[in-house]
Amino acid sequence: MHNNDRLLKIIEKETLLLHNTDGGIGSSLPAVADVQALMQAIWDTIFFEGSCHHHCTGAEITQGLLTVYTRLHHLLDRAAPEKDTGISTTETAMNFIERMHSIRELLITDIRAILVMDPAATSPQEVIACYPAVKAVLYYRSAHEMVKLGIPILPRMITELAHSITGIDIHPNAKIGPYFAIDHGTGIVIGETSIIGSHVTLYQGVTLGAKAFSYDENGLPQRIDRHPIIEDNVTIYSNSSILGRITIGHDTVIGGNIWVTQSVPPHSKITQKTVISMC
């Protein structure tokens, strides 16, 4: 009985302390399980999975879109309530589902790019079912559309969920063109202000990162363009780091295990030997 009384007193005290100690964190974060459910609904609707046993009918796709709308609306009420943002959560959720066909069209180009660059890929179905890049890029492209709609927090939660599942870390603010191929993928990092053109291929362990930060008068990092620009038709092999606001020119190949901190002209081929000779 004595232990029970002490336990109740501890719980009562901690409840008050936790409730009254905000620290600027707030309490309106969406539940991770709800974010997972939203992304599963988006996946099932875009790839016609889950409710479709053979070929999806219009009614089944309609139901998928309604599920996405309902789950996103619920999350927006937590992450971006209308009373705080002045933006209608209903309008925002509708605007997102209006863009889902565009997300699918881009993903189809990404799947085709993987089929072209990887001889181990035998069909689009295999790529969708077995390649972690498809999940990471679907989550990124969905989150990026949410960024463009002005949705806070949720886009980052979505891409970090993909990061935890696939090992591929893509910031939702990054800009990535069509026909984007990732092979294997584990350890890839694509920073917030990265710009990637079309027909770009990245292998595992590639980092598109910042070289250094600038700080404001309060000692906080400034949000400036600090990540690379990768132009069209570039391939970057495994474990290479491309750092800073530099440009990798179109039709360039960057070999594996290379640290690049200077812009590279178009039609280049950068190997470890090239980098040594440039030093």
Q: Does residue 226 sit within a domain?
A: yes
Whether 162 and 194 share a structural domain? no
53 and 142: one domain?
A: yes
Of residues 48 and 107, more confidence is placed in 107
Same domain, 78 and 158: yes
Residue 75 pLDDT level (bands cut at 50, 70, 90) = very high
Query: Same structural domain for residues 268 and 185?
Result: yes
Q: State the average pLDDT over residues 265-276.
A: 85
What is the per-residue pLDDT across 117-169, written as a single tens digit (0 to 9) for each? 999 999 999 999 999 999 999 999 999 999 999 999 999 999 999 999 999 99
Lowest mean pLDDT among 6-10, 211-215, 264-268: 211-215
pLDDT score, position 217: 84
Q: Among 72-81, 145-154, 184-193, 268-277, where is mean pLDDT lowest?
A: 268-277
163 shares its domain with 178 = no
What pLDDT digit, counting tens, does each position of 163-206 carry?
999 999 999 999 999 999 999 999 999 999 999 999 999 999 99
The confidence score (pLDDT) of residue 273 equals 76
Report whether 134 contacts 127 (CB < 8 A): yes
pLDDT for 279 beyond 60: no
User: How much is the average pLDDT of 65-76?
Assistant: 95
> What pLDDT, on a 0 to 100 scale, did the predictor assign at position 122?
94
Residues 212, 156 within the same domain = no
Residue 276: pLDDT band (50, 70, 90) is low
Q: Which helix (H) or strand (E) segment is 203 a member of?
A: strand 201-203
Tell me the sheet residues that pair with 196. Answer: 176, 230
Q: Coil, strand or helix: which one is 264?
A: strand
Residue 244 has pLDDT above 90, yes or no: yes
Residue 84 binned pLDDT confidence (cut-offs 50, 70, 90):
low
186 and 136 share a domain? no
The number of domains in the chain is 2
- Tell whether 139 and 182 lie within a shared domain: no
Report the C-alpha gap between 178 and 106 in whole angstroms. 6
- Model confidence at 2, pLDDT cuts 50, 70, 90, reads low
Instruction: Quote the pLDDT of residue 51.
Output: 46
pLDDT of residue 1: 55
- Same domain (yes/no): 140, 198: no
At 212-238, the pLDDT tens digits run 878 888 888 888 999 999 999 999 999
Closest CA to 134 of 66, 233, 46, 61: 46
**Nearest of 182, 167, 206, 205 to residue 134 by alpha carbon:** 182
- Domain holding 257, by residue range, is 174-279
- Return phi, psi of residue 220, to 5°: -100, 145
φ and ψ at residue 150, rounded to 5 degrees: 80, 20
Query: At 138, which CATH number?
Result: 1.10.3130.10
pLDDT digits (tens, 9 = 90+) for 61-70: 899 999 999 9
Among 167, 199, 221, give the residue marking a domain's end: 167
- The overall average pLDDT reported for the chain is 90
pLDDT of residue 78: 81
Quick check: is 6 in a domain?
Answer: no
pLDDT at position 42 over 90: yes
Are 130 and 217 members of one domain? Answer: no
**Statement to judge: residues 185 and 246 lie in one domain:** yes
| % the chain with pLDDT above 90 | 74
Q: Where a domain ends, among 167, 201, 219?
A: 167
**Quick one: 157 and 180 in the same domain?**
no
Express as a percent the part of the chain with pLDDT over 70: 89
Query: Measured between alpha carbons, how far is 192 from 256 in angstroms, rounded to an integer?
Result: 23
Give the domain-ending residue among 167, 188, 216.
Answer: 167
Q: What b-and-e string marks burial along 26-53, b requiring 16 or more CB atoms within 10 Å of the CB? A: eeeebeeebbeebbebbbbbbbbebeee
Q: Residue ranges of the alpha helices (H) in the chain?
A: 2-20, 32-46, 58-79, 82-85, 89-97, 100-117, 124-130, 132-148, 154-166, 272-278
